[in-house]
Amino acid sequence: MNDKTTRHVAVIGGGIIGACCALALVRAGQRVTLIEPETPGGTQAASYGNGAFLSPASIIPMSVPGLWKKVPGYLTDPTGPLTIRWRYLPRLLPWLARFLYAGHSLKKVRRTASILWSLVHDSPDRHAELAASCARPEMVRRDGLLYAYPDRAAFAQEALSWSLRRENGLTWREIAGEELREIEPALAPSYSFAVLVESGASCTDPGAYVAAVVAQAVAEGAELVRTKADGFHIVDGKLAGVRTTTGTLACDRAVVAAGIRSKSLAGALGDTIPLESERGYHVEIASPDIALRRPVMPSDGKMSNVMTPGGLRAAGQVELASVDAEPDWRRANILMDHLRRTYPQLATKNATARWIGHRPSTPDGLPVIGKAKGCGEVVYAFGHGHIGLSAAPRTAEIVTSLICDTLAPIDTSAFAASRFR
Ligand SMILES: Cc1cc2nc3c(=O)[nH]c(=O)nc-3n(C[C@H](O)[C@H](O)[C@H](O)COP(=O)(O)OP(=O)(O)OC[C@H]3O[C@@H](n4cnc5c(N)ncnc54)[C@H](O)[C@@H]3O)c2cc1C
């Protein structure tokens, strides 16, 4: 598929997006240098602490019609799944306005869902192939994903989301009553209905998975440089190198995959991207004395519950504030309370680990994958919000086509940075 020219590509950021891009580019015959100041897949990355869902169902944007009516509640209720910190409201208003507008009509939400489907519908297959090619097949579990509801009426309240999923081709099995007890004995009896997305999968250890993909890229020829990118060296309108805190790295192409920190790098090239952190949290219970048979998403908690090497993890919450604002650990406590309610056997358990991370989110719920305005040799790959783990392999394939000047595997026009210009 590639045009055989070998370029030196600097990939900025070693989260799941940068890791997958680095490996795909090496496999496409490019010389790759991965720039990452921290441990790839370490706690600084959203890719470390996420919910581990590899979900073809993750196509519904956060912003849907009628959401604006709930904003006052988000500002005042500290226990809901989405909160906005008052102090940051003035700075967030432009992003928030675009966010609400992006979901103001069903037509817009339907369009976003079908575009996201093109990124994630075959994510379990792609990750299974990727993990196997890194000699770590056990890192992807293909047991399906269980979306649990108190009852069928609660499920019906999400009819729009599920009908959009069905329109795009997702299938699932509805499970009620006794069968639900058999499928997931740990669930509280207050859940009497569930949807089993059998095609869904999960990652057993998201942080270690990133590290494994990076290690594979290095084994296949990439170089990992532990430094921080802070700009670009452009000569006569062409990329000559990536500026880092330890000097300039000469290269002919660059990929910006620095998660929430991509905004300033894009800014250096003349692209003002409205990228904000949808801050999320996780808690883990090291010895929960229950083992979920597959990941669960309880509808009322809006969190993913998944077994990891750290124990049972609950990941979720959306908190809009500044990326550098102090964590509000009450949000982790909310996850813990939900866990205790969802699985009665956890009633006396406490969290043994807690974490905050930054979903790199655009207001329209779509990532930015495309060439930079100020320099066509730089390709953006960030802004994946809630779906970055699931969408990483497909993103890497698109990035590789842009770097190698070959045909993109899907229509990429909706991901262009120019939509914000
Ligand atoms: C609570 C929570 C739950 C989630 N659950 C899911 C889920 O179940 N499924 C799913 O698909 N997605 C999920 N997500 C979203 C997913 O985790 C993110 O979309 C994804 O991890 C983003 O990956 P990334 O590589 O773009 O960014 P990151 O993982 O944040 O990686 C960016 C990397 O860039 C590095 N970096 C930063 N600045 C520079 C610089 N100047 N130079 C060089 N390197 C730099 C950082 O050190 C970091 O390692 C969840 C997110 C959260 C927070």
H or E stretch at 391: helix 388-403
Provide the whole-model pTM: 0.97
Are 237 and 179 within one domain? no
User: Does some domain include residue 303?
Assistant: yes
Q: Which atom in ligand 1 lies closest to the alpha carbon of residue 257?
A: 26
* Domain of residue 354, residue span: 74-86+277-361
pLDDT at position 1: 42
pLDDT at position 69: 86
The residue to mutate among 386, 394, 415, having the most atoms of ligand 1 within 8 angstroms of its beta carbon, is 386
H or E stretch at 368: strand 368-371
Tell me if residue 142 falls in helix, strand or coil: coil
Tell me if residue 328 falls in helix, strand or coil: coil
CB atoms within 10 A of CB 409: 13
Q: Which of 331, 361, 391 is the last residue of a domain?
A: 361
Are 400 and 267 within one domain? yes
C-alpha 286/C-alpha 21 separation (Å) is 33
Q: Which atom in ligand 1 lies closest to the alpha carbon of residue 389?
A: 11
The residue to mutate among 384, 390, 415, having the most atoms of ligand 1 within 8 angstroms of its beta carbon, is 384
Phi and psi at 407, nearest 5°, equal -65, 130
CB atoms within 10 A of CB 245: 9
User: Does some domain include residue 16?
Assistant: yes
Distance (angstroms) between ligand 1 centre and the Cα of 206 equals 10
| Encoded tokens for 321 | 């504030």
What DSSP line would sit under 18-65, residue for residue?
HHHHHHHHHHTT-EEEEE-SS-TT-TTSHHHHS--EE-TTTT--S--T
Are 191 and 224 within one domain? no
C-alpha 188/C-alpha 315 separation (Å) is 19
Ligand 1, atom 19: nearest CA belongs to which residue? 388
Burial class (CB in 10 A: 0-12, 13-18, 19+), 333: middle
The residue to mutate among 47, 213, 230, having the most atoms of ligand 1 within 8 angstroms of its beta carbon, is 47
User: Does some domain include residue 96?
Assistant: no
Q: Which of 344, 361, 378 is the last residue of a domain?
A: 361
Are 121 and 26 within one domain? yes
Distance (angstroms) between ligand 1 centre and the Cα of 203 equals 15
Are 232 and 265 within one domain? yes
Ligand 1, atom 50: nearest CA belongs to which residue? 50
Phi and psi at 55, nearest 5°, equal -120, 115
- Per-residue pLDDT of 5-26, as tens digits, reads 899 999 999 999 999 999 999 9
- Per-residue pLDDT of 229-271, as tens digits, reads 999 999 999 999 999 999 999 999 999 999 999 999 999 999 9
Distance (angstroms) between ligand 1 centre and the Cα of 117 equals 20
CB of 252 within 8 A of CB of 7?
yes
Place of tokens 């090497």: 309
Q: How far apart are the first and last CA of the chain?
A: 31
Q: Which atom in ligand 1 lies closest to the alpha carbon of residue 357?
A: 53
User: Does some domain include residue 27?
Assistant: yes
**CATH code, domain with 386:** 3.50.50.60
Distance (angstroms) between ligand 1 centre and the Cα of 54 equals 14
Are 52 and 119 within one domain? yes
Are 287 and 354 within one domain? yes
Are 119 and 205 within one domain? yes
Q: Give the distance, in angstroms, between the CA of residue 318 and the centroid of all CA atoms in the same chain.
A: 13
pLDDT at 182 over 50: yes
C-alpha 1/C-alpha 28 separation (Å) is 8
Q: How confident is the model at residue 3 (pLDDT cuts 50, 70, 90)?
A: low
Are 190 and 225 within one domain? no
User: Does some domain include residue 388?
Assistant: yes
Nearest 10 degrees: Cα torsion 208, 211, 212, 217? 170
Q: Which atom in ligand 1 lies closest to the alpha carbon of residue 306?
A: 8
Are 285 and 341 within one domain? yes
Residue 414 — left, alpha, or beta (φ > 0 → left; ψ -120 to 50 → alpha)? Answer: alpha
- Per-residue pLDDT of 192-218, as tens digits, reads 999 999 999 999 999 999 999 999 999
pLDDT at 160 over 60: yes
Distance (angstroms) between ligand 1 centre and the Cα of 51 equals 12
Q: How many domains does one find in the chain?
A: 3
Q: Which of 326, 346, 361 is the last residue of a domain?
A: 361
Q: Which atom in ligand 1 lies closest to the alpha carbon of residue 262?
A: 38
Distance (angstroms) between ligand 1 centre and the Cα of 77 equals 27
Residue 281 — left, alpha, or beta (φ > 0 → left; ψ -120 to 50 → alpha)? Answer: beta
pLDDT at position 68: 84
List, chain by chain if needed, residues with CB within 6 Å of any ligand 1 atom.
12-18, 35-38, 44-47, 50-53, 228-229, 257-259, 261, 280, 282, 304, 315-316, 357, 359-360, 382, 384-390
Among the residue ranges 67-71, 276-280, 408-412, the one predicted with the least confidence is 67-71
Are 284 and 261 within one domain? no
C-alpha 107/C-alpha 85 separation (Å) is 30
Are 387 and 246 within one domain? yes
Q: Which atom in ligand 1 lies closest to the alpha carbon of residue 388?
A: 19
- Per-residue pLDDT of 381-403, as tens digits, reads 999 999 999 999 999 999 999 99
Q: How confident is the model at residue 2 (pLDDT cuts 50, 70, 90)?
A: very low
